[in-house]
Structure 1
Amino acid sequence: MSTEDDTDGKTTRVTRKGQVTIPKPLREEFGLEEGDEVRWEKTEEGIRVRRATQSAGRGMLVDDGVSEEQREEMAEAMESEIRDQRRTEWQP
């Protein structure tokens, strides 16, 4: 992978397999970790890469009396557990 500065930040090359690497400073800034998903969107300006969020059903199985803060904590704990499981499954 080769990176170089340009006016918008960083550039990377596409590999023969069509893979790209998200530069480390951007992964850190946006909290992207192994196993996270990103969405590729076609725009008039070109391609936009966005973090894929799975928040549409977030908290829907939780009792009505649970606070928004508690719902968020539960969702974050579940996301962390899923990430850990993916890491374990993807170990060579």
Structure 2
Amino acid sequence: MSTENETESETTRITRKGQVTIPKDLRAEFGLEEGDEVRWEKAEDGIRVRKATQSSGRGMLVDNDVSEEKREEMAEEMEAEIRKKRREEWQP
């Protein structure tokens, strides 16, 4: 991996199978973990990669009197459990 400008862009190579590695600092900054999905989008200036989240329904099944802080805590716990299950499914 080479770095043009540490804060603006990084480059990685595409493997024979078409795989790419998202640089560690970007995974950390955007909260990407094993099992997460990313969306590849065409753009006028090239390709954009975005985290594919389904957060629009977050908190829909929680009572209205639950605080926003508690909702976030519950959502994070659920996301962690989903990632754990995905990892278990991928284990040979």
* TM-score strictly above 0.5: yes
Q: Report the counterpart of residue 17 of structure 1 in structure 2.
A: 17
Point out where structure 1 has 5 or more consecutive residues left out of the alignment. none
Which residue number corresponds to residue 42 of structure 1?
Answer: 42
Deviations 1:37-90 (A, max 9, x none): 111111111101111121011111111111111111111110001111111111
User: Gaps spanning 5+ residues in structure 2: where?
Assistant: none
Query: After TM superposition, which residue ranges in structure 1, 4 or more long, deviate above 3 angstroms?
Result: none
Matched, 1:77 2:77: yes
Partner of 1:54: 54
Moved more, 6-15 or 21-30: 6-15
Equivalent pairs counted in the alignment come to: 90
1:5 to 3, 6, 13: 3
TM-score by length of 1: 0.88
SS in structure 1 of the partner of residue 80 of structure 2:
helix
